Amino acid sequence: VVLALAAALAAAEASPAERHLAAVLLSTAAGKHWRALDEDARSRVRRGVLAALASTESPAELRALAHAADVVAQASAGGWTELLPALADASSSAVDAHREASIVLLGNLVESMGAHLHEHHAALASRFARAASGDPCRRVRDAAVAACAQLATALTERGDFPLLASIAPSIVACLIDAARNQVAAKDDDALAAALNALASVTSSCSVDAIFGDDAALATPAAEIALAVAADATRRDGAARGPAFEVLSALAMKHGELIDRTDGSGAGAGSIAARILAFLVADAGSADARATLRQFALHLPPATVLPVVVAPLLAASDSGAVPTPGQLAALAAAAEGCACDVAEDDVMPRALDALSAGMTSGDARTMTAAAEAFAEMAEHAGHAMTSLHETRVGALFVDAIRRAVAAESASASEGGGGGGGGETEA
């Protein structure tokens, strides 16, 4: 079966669809039956795959062949000496699809059999970076961006930290440059691909050395993600979610680093403080709340909580009602900052803000206040009830009373009107 499929790849009479199907089936068949083949048959299969890779120009067929070649390479356990030279030739081909397939296959290989490619990792990183920044074909650039992330992730998973420290900074720099270039080109899909890769690299490794000497790349990585996340024109675009993923990854794996790293420009303050200020201001969005929660869980409360409560305290001091977004920010930060929320100089005024929100008469504000109250009760409940029993009890009773009243009003109106928000509260 394996030999027949390999022969079908090169059959002149086969249609592109038939060759594509043969490549797909070969991936499964080679994985199952490779041990049953003698060395001559294995060599014929390898030659057939290489010949097919060199002859076809169909992107779909080449991607299927790349997967089949990956399976055959794994089965060959490093014995396919002709593969890397063939891929090196393909990476400089004039045919876009050949360059794309070579990058896709190399990216897959560093994941599946990286130990056999150890001596080639530095060269592969350079090749991926060149393709990501300089190839004229968009598909090739996207494949190279993904391959950069695959290489860094593979090195992390194998625990090869010395090699990672020497290679990863060039990969991170490449991905930052790719993201910047796509911002300038206004290509949201390509920007999303670059940021997804940057998030993958950042989240896969907690070693700050991936950002180079003195972690100099941490600020550019954070700033490009922050710029995209904060760009109102991208609110519905493909790149905004990946930008938040980069910020979350920085908090989860490199929180101490970004907390002590200054942003660019005089008097910029820590990059973490700038990100937090944006997240609190944008806490009406689910992405911002999820990212803020990661900052609260992984950075010191002394860094996070002052930024979160500042607008609430300002509203309390002025007698104003806090906004739903400000209350949502408190809810997002409650778990990570529970102990500090319970401090005497914070809790009474936070309760003032919650009370103002619950009695505001605005459904969204009341819902946000109730959700914040619930989060605080869950994560700082002991301190709340032991230190502020009377106020907390009154808030709890009031929240239940208003929810019941809203439920009754909603039922009597057949579920119409604005009562739904209060019912949720």
User: Among 7-11, 50-54, 193-197, 290-294, which is the least confidently predicted range?
Assistant: 7-11
Which tokens belong to 127? 């090749």
Q: How high is the pLDDT of residue 311?
A: 92
Look-up of token digits 């809203």: 406
Mean pLDDT of the region 89-97: 91
pLDDT band at 363 (very low <50, low <70, confident <90, very high): confident
User: Among 67-76, 187-196, 382-391, which is the least confidently predicted range?
Assistant: 382-391
Region of residue 78 (phi > 0: left; psi between -120 and 50: alpha; otherwise: beta): left
Q: How high is the pLDDT of residue 414?
A: 61
pLDDT band at 418 (very low <50, low <70, confident <90, very high): very low
Which tokens belong to 265? 């420009």
Look-up of token digits 């002025």: 318
Q: Does residue 292 contact residue 281 with C-beta atoms inside 8 Å?
A: no
pLDDT at 420 over 60: no
Q: Give the C-alpha distances (Å, rounded to integers) separating 218 from 64, 252, 299, 358, 414.
A: 37, 14, 16, 41, 54
User: Per DSSP, what are the bridge partners of residue 270?
Assistant: 262
Distance between CA atoms of residues 202 and 300, nearest Å = 20
For the segment 30-62, what is each residue's pLDDT rounded down to a tens digit? 989 999 999 999 999 999 999 888 888 888 888
Rg of the chain over CA atoms, in angstroms?
28
Distance between CA atoms of residues 101 and 80, nearest Å = 18
The mean of the pLDDT values for the chain is 86
Segment holding 115, helix H or strand E:
none
Q: How high is the pLDDT of residue 403?
A: 67
Q: How high is the pLDDT of residue 422?
A: 44
Distance between CA atoms of residues 315 and 324, nearest Å = 12
pLDDT band at 247 (very low <50, low <70, confident <90, very high): very high
- CA angle 171–173–174, rounded 5-degree value: 65
pLDDT at 96 over 50: yes
Q: How high is the pLDDT of residue 415?
A: 52
Q: How high is the pLDDT of residue 265?
A: 47
Mean pLDDT of the region 201-230: 92
Alpha-helical runs (H) found in 113-217? 121-134, 138-157, 161-185, 188-204
pLDDT band at 393 (very low <50, low <70, confident <90, very high): confident
As a whole-number percent, the residues of the chain with pLDDT over 70 amount to: 92
Q: How high is the pLDDT of residue 21?
A: 93
Region of residue 267 (phi > 0: left; psi between -120 and 50: alpha; otherwise: beta): left
Q: How high is the pLDDT of residue 180?
A: 95
262: DSSP letter: B
Q: How high is the pLDDT of residue 218?
A: 93
pLDDT at 289 over 70: yes
Count of Cβ atoms closer than 10 Å to residue 305 Cβ: 25
pLDDT at 204 over 80: yes
Reported pTM: 0.83
* DSSP 3-state of 162: helix
Q: How high is the pLDDT of residue 164?
A: 83
pLDDT at 359 over 50: yes
In terms of Cα–Cα distance, which of 379, 377, 398, 378 is closest to 388? 377
pLDDT at 264 over 70: no
pLDDT at 266 over 70: no
Q: How high is the pLDDT of residue 344?
A: 61
Mean pLDDT of the region 212-241: 93
Length of the chain equals 425
Region of residue 423 (phi > 0: left; psi between -120 and 50: alpha; otherwise: beta): alpha
* DSSP 3-state of 317: helix
Distance between CA atoms of residues 273 and 308, nearest Å = 11
pLDDT at 337 over 60: yes
> Is the model more confident about 337 or about 160?
337
pLDDT at 141 over 70: yes
Contacts (Cβ under 8 Å, ≥6 apart) of 241: 192, 287
Q: Does residue 399 contact residue 373 with C-beta atoms inside 8 Å?
A: yes
Distance between CA atoms of residues 188 and 203, nearest Å = 22
pLDDT band at 263 (very low <50, low <70, confident <90, very high): low
Q: How high is the pLDDT of residue 425?
A: 41
Q: How high is the pLDDT of residue 270?
A: 81
pLDDT at 391 over 50: yes
pLDDT band at 291 (very low <50, low <70, confident <90, very high): very high
pLDDT at 417 over 60: no
Mean pLDDT of the region 299-324: 90
Which tokens belong to 170? 């060039």
Residue 277 — φ and ψ, nearest 5°? Answer: -60, -40
